[in-house]
Amino acid sequence: YLFYIPTSDGGTLEPALRDLTQPLIDHAEGQLFLNEAFKIIVEEVLHKGTDAEEKVCEWREPESLALLLDLQLRDTGESQGRLLQRVRNVAKYSIKTSHPHFFNQQFGGVDYHSLAGRFLTEALNTNLFTYEVAPVFVLMETEVLKALRQLVGWTDGDGIFCPGGSTSNMYAMNLARYKLFPEVKTKGLWALPRLAIFSSPGSHYSVQKGASYLGFGTDSVVLVKVDDGGRMIPEDLDAKIELAKSQGFVPLLVSCTSGTTVLGSFDPLDCIADVCDKHQLWMHVDAAWGGSVLFSKQHRHLMKGVERAKSVSWNPHKMLLAGLQCSAFLLQDTTNLLKRCNCANASYLFQQDKFYDVNLDIGDKSVQCSRKVDCLKLWLMWKAVGSTGLEHRVDKAFLHVRYLLEQMKKRDGFQLVSTPEFVNVCFWFIPPSLRGKEGNADYQDKLAKVAPVIKERMMKEGTMMVGYQPLGDLGNFFRVTVFSPHICHKDMDFFLDEIERLGKCL
């Protein structure tokens, strides 16, 4: 932008003119900065960050990284050039979660249609609570939730997008309590009997956190036994419910899991639903990880019986690559239970005499006031590839797992923890120095130290990322989640080669 501004004294801008033009100059500079910053994002994150020849991470120790980034905030601003270098540093030293060798979490990869939706969401910067400020997204969220419910098997219902699966699970616990004891909303916990929640040892930790946060207490969470594959045993659930009743508890909710975090196990929903019907308990399905199998005709049998649940959590930002965060809480209820439980009827937002249908003001369903738009990224991606494309994405992940298992069997030192039911492959790598020594007294202790050392080495070299953990009595083992549609057999081979290279000398 060029400005020619005549001045009264031939050289000094009038204060009024300066006040008028400065916002225009700031706006122009801001747009130029955004354009240059976007170029850096595309180069560092979307080009280098998805290139298998580049590093997954540029590891720095915390003190060194903090010094390099110069994190301290100061009174005066910085030049555009300095700020652009800061953008580049942030991109360079962040983990490249879209990299084909990032196997560390249950998110990763990039869908560019979804990413466009995320950019648009940020640019529009609106709040999804009333139709007047978010008309497009109120209608869009309603339609996307409807489509997800139909995949579950419900013709009608309710729901909301939440800030993560943990919050969705807590919504279920809170709603189940309100449904059984609506007076809790006004009278609080003192008026309630001791309530019991049932889940498995492999369930997400948000069940324990939710019990604490919502006032149930973690002692109210009853852990049901699982079989060798990590699946809840319905017979033990029935016995645990009867025991809880005899101890003075009021059984409230069963939190099943479709795709446990570590093993990827799917609880037998139909049989659990029979137990819930018998005892009149709320059945919730945490399908944050595994819910996307519902797109697949070949694999949706893993969630047989899900339509009998009262509520479902589902994170499309995981297997579907919708991008963080995209987490849906789905309800079979048609009585407006969600709003009745959470509403506060704020008259400055939810006026009842508006000129449009006030039922479109959906904000009182949420425990939040400010709520980010999370439906656009999923809607745009779904529009781009269709349900068929998302089904192919799910099926391809299972094929990747099959290939990985076949290659593991051909190599020495790879031992499965269990046969995968989903796309979680859990295994130990046994270095040559430990092979044939399984009977030694210190074998398990030494084996448990292998995964942490290999993980440290791969992080410091920046070649790859994969998670590890113990589980019950089992020592540390690797868990690789294989689901990104952008990886290929070459990446699977690299994964195995790299584990061998980094661990063969231990």
Q: CA-to-CA distance for 107 and 316, rounded, in angstroms? A: 9
Nearest-angstrom CA–CA distance, 106 and 124: 28
Instruction: Quote the pLDDT of residue 16.
Output: 62
Place of tokens 């979804």: 114
Half-sphere exposure of 304 (CA within 13 A, CB side): 8
**Tokens (6 digits) for 19:** 């006040």
Question: Is cis: bond before 407, omega within 30 of 0?
Answer: no
Contact assessment for residue 313 and residue 303, using Cβ atoms and an 8 Å cutoff: no
- Comparing C-alpha atoms, which of 200, 216, 214 is closest to residue 249? 216
- Cα 13 from Cα 467, distance rounded (Å): 61
At 310 the three-state DSSP class reads coil
Phi (first) and psi of residue 416, to 5 degrees: -70, 145
pLDDT at 227: 96
State how beta strands 424-429 and 221-223 pair: unpaired
* pLDDT value of residue 1: 46
- Contacts of residue 58, defined as CB under 8 A and 6 or more positions apart, other chains included, come to 92, 93, 462
Element of type H or E holding 257: strand 250-257
Question: Residue 115: which residues within 8 A CB-CB, separation 6 or more?
Answer: 323, 377
Q: Which helix (H) or strand (E) holds 88?
A: helix 80-93
Cα first-last separation, the chain: 63
Global pTM? Answer: 0.94
Please identify every stretch of the chain with a pLDDT value under 70, giving residue numbers as ranges. Answer: 1-18
Closest CA relative to residue 169, chosen from 310, 286, 321, 256? 286
Task: Please give the pLDDT value at position 146.
Answer: 98
Length of the chain: 506
Q: Which residue has the tokens 């939710």?
A: 210
Q: What is the CA radius of gyration of the chain?
A: 26
